[in-house]
Amino acid sequence: MEEFTGTVGVFDSGIGGLTVLKECAALLPRSRFYYLGDNDNAPYGSKPKEEIRRLVRAALNRFSALRIDAAVLACNTATAVCADELRKEFSFPVVGMEPAVRPAAQNCKRALVLCTPQTAASERLHALAGRFPQCEFAVHGCPDLARAVERCGGSYEKINLNEHLPAGNFDGVVLGCTHYIFLKERICAHYGVPVYDGNAGTARRLSAVLAEKSGGATTLSGVYGFADHCEENANLCSEICRKTGGNGVKTGVFFLGSAKNYNKIRYKQMFANKNEGNCHKNP
């Protein structure tokens, strides 16, 4: 019998976290994922910290009511602004995003980090970059790029990168915002250098956290059964794939929130895009 590997809440301000969800769902096919995008309030990147904290806290509260085993903040901005603080408030582990500065530093002398203004201003990012003095990091906060990705209705090719990306010579680019991953191929072509993102690392971290939490036994929340979440099942969830894993629980990906259908469509679109994922480097 296939063993159920836990229930995970994945959160982002909007569609960016779908790219992280894809990676996590591929690595953990026997888990159940709830995806919550706060698309109504996106983008977060230039909002005041206090507001970001309040919105992320609300999302984690919602996950808490679903008795998740772990949450993923599939948002660099949320991670940079409030992950450490919110970890203290919730009983489940919270896995955050870490820009792929380390692999970039191993391969580059001068790398560009593209991220939101709040991430660019964060101590967290600068402390991380400071651990790799062998590479010079040029950090650039893009004021409107996440909004362009969020609002383009899936027509990512229509975004004019020249309006958003800084000029310069770099030998690598780090994507420090999950929304930008939809533009990875194009950013790679724009600069003609490798592009690094932290999605695979986040998925691996989630896998380790779930393994640690279960302690090798079937103690994850699936033992309570899907019926515990019937409110979500009936009203809030929009499931994309659903199968019965070990313990008779439903595994797959379920979308929550007012933008659930929009996010589901964008998620499916990613699988239809054959070129997606060719050019980047995942740590």
Identified binder of ligand DGL from the candidate list 4, 7, 10, 16, rule CB under 6 A? 16
Please, what sign has the CA dihedral across residues 64, 67, 5, 33? negative
Annotated active-site residue in 24, 75, 82, 188: 75
C-beta of 158: minimal distance to ligand DGL in Å?
A: 19
Q: Is 75 a catalytic residue?
A: yes
Contacts of 147 (CB under 8 A, 6+ apart): 42, 43
Q: Is residue 179 part of the contact set for ligand DGL (CB under 6 A)?
A: yes
Question: Is residue 13 a contact residue for ligand DGL (CB under 6 A)?
Answer: yes
185 binds ligand DGL (CB under 6 A): no
Q: Is 37 in the site for ligand DGL (CB under 6 A)?
A: no
Stretch that binds ligand DGL, among 8-16, 120-128, 153-161, 243-251 (CB under 6 A): 8-16
List the one residue from 45, 103, 141, 245 that touches ligand DGL (CB under 6 A).
Answer: 45
Fill in the DSSP letter of residue 88: T
User: Are residues 249 and 225 in contact, defined by beta-carbon separation less than 8 angstroms?
Assistant: yes
Examine residue 197 and tell whether it contacts ligand DGL (CB under 6 A).
no
Number of other CB atoms surrounding residue 109 within 10 Å? 11
Given the DSSP bridges, would you call strands 280-281 and 250-256 parallel, antiparallel or unpaired? unpaired
Question: Judged by CB under 6 A, how many residues of this single chain contact ligand DGL?
Answer: 16
Rounded to a whole number of angstroms, the minimum distance from the CB of residue 135 to ligand DGL is: 21
Residues whose CB falls within 8 Å of the CB of residue 84, separated by 6 or more in sequence, listed in order: none
10 in contact with ligand DGL (CB under 6 A): no
State how far the Cα of 46 lies from the Cα of 40, in Å rounded to an integer.
Answer: 15
Interface segment toward ligand DGL; rule CB under 6 A; list 37-45, 153-161, 237-245, 267-275: 37-45
Contact 52, 77 (CB under 8 A): yes
Annotated catalytic residue: which of 135, 177, 188, 237? 177
> Catalytic annotation on 82?
no
Instruction: List the one residue from 5, 8, 11, 12 that touches ligand DGL (CB under 6 A).
Output: 12
Do 119 and 97 form a contact (C-beta atoms < 8 A)? no
User: E strands along 18-59, which residues?
Assistant: 32-37
For ligand DGL, the closer of residues 7 and 119 by Cβ is 119
β-bridge pairing 250-256 and 238-244: antiparallel
State which residue, 143 or 166, has the beta carbon closest to ligand DGL: 143
**Binding string, residues 119-158; x marks residues near ligand DGL by CB under 6 A:** x--------------------------x------------
**Paired tokens of 62:** 């919602």
Taking the least distance from each CB to ligand DGL, the nearer of 75 and 220 is 75
Nearest-5° Cα angle at 252, 250 to 253: 120
Site for ligand DGL in 63-102 (CB under 6 A): 75-77
| Strand ordering across the sheet containing 32-37 | 94-95, 70-73, 7-12, 32-37, 250-256, 238-244
Backbone angles phi, psi at 172, to 5 degrees: -170, 155
Which one-letter DSSP state was computed for residue 267?
H
**Residue among 20 and 220 whose Cβ is closer to ligand DGL:** 20
Active site residues: 75, 177
Residues that bind ligand DGL (CB under 6 A): 12-13, 16, 42-45, 75-77, 116, 119, 146, 177-179
